Structures are given as structure tokens and as C-alpha cells.
């Protein structure tokens, strides 16, 4: 082979149309599977958010109607280490005797699972 022939040698490999079609079908199937998985996950997240909103609404209702809830804070619980429980610092009220209480009207999430709830009379 001469130097000219070597230089002009084609570098393109031809593949058949059916091969391309099969690859596209495969890629499309993979895309559809992933799309379905994402839709399922999104649906689960939407259900979870709906549940969290219901829980928050019930927490707020408990914070407003519980006999232990004063304007300032919940009188039932003393929280010695709020940061360990993930309670925001700005909802902690420090009483004169140095006990720490949670301002439940600012942070009604605290009431959601509380077993001490009792309605005001």
C-alpha cells in the first residue's frame, strides 16, 4: 500500500440500520424503566409530604389545646440537651430555675408524638 493509499484509508465503520434500531430500542426501554422508577419514588415522596403535613397540623392543634401549653412554653417537659434532640435553639426557653422548656407554639412539631397530651378544661 502506497503512502497516498494509506492516508486515504477510510476510518468510518459502517453498521447496519437494524443494529442502530436495536440499540435505540434498548436505550428507550432503559429510559422508560428509569422514568417509571422515578415516578414511583416521586409518588412515595408526595405521600410522605402529605403525611408530614397532617402530623404538623395535629402538632399545632395539640400545642394550642394542651393543658400543659402556656403562652411561653410547654410546662410538662424539661429538655436538658435540646441540641442532642435536634430542637432548634431559638425555641428553647430558659426558666428562672434554669430548666429548659420548649416554646411549642413556635415549634409545634414537638407535640406531634407527645404522650402527655391532655386537653385544657
Chain contacts with ligand SF4 (rule: CB under 6 A): 62-63, 66, 68-69, 74, 76-77, 104, 110-111, 114, 116-117
β-bridge mates for residue 101, sequence order: 93
> Are 87 and 32 contacting, i.e. CB atoms less than 8 angstroms apart?
no
Query: In whole angstroms, how close is the CB of 113 to ligand SF4 at the nearest point?
Result: 9
User: Of 24 and 116, which CB lies nearer to ligand SF4 in the complex structure?
Assistant: 116
The per-residue b/e assignment along 12-34, b for 16 or more CB within 10 angstroms, e otherwise, is: eeeeeeeeeeeeeeeeeeeeeee
User: Of 66 and 91, which CB lies nearer to ligand SF4 in the complex structure?
Assistant: 66
User: Of 44 and 74, which CB lies nearer to ligand SF4 in the complex structure?
Assistant: 74
Amino acid at each position: 500500500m502506497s503512502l497516498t493509499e494509506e492516508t486515504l484509508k477510510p476510518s468510518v465503520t459502517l453498521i447496519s440500520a437494524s443494529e442502530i434500531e436495536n440499540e435505540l430500542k434498548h436505550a428507550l426501554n432503559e429510559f422508560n424503566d428509569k422514568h417509571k422508577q422515578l415516578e414511583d419514588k416521586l409518588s412515595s415522596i408526595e405521600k410522605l409530604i402529605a403525611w408530614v403535613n397532617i402530623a404538623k397540623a395535629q402538632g399545632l392543634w395539640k400545642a394550642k389545646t394542651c393543658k400543659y401549653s402556656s403562652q411561653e412554653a410547654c410546662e410538662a417537659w424539661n429538655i436538658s440537651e435540646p441540641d442532642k434532640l435536634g430542637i432548634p435553639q431559638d425555641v428553647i426557653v430558659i426558666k428562672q430555675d434554669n430548666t429548659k422548656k420548649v416554646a411549642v407554639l413556635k415549634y409545634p412539631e414537638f407535640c406531634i408524638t407527645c404522650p402527655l397530651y391532655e386537653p385544657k378544661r
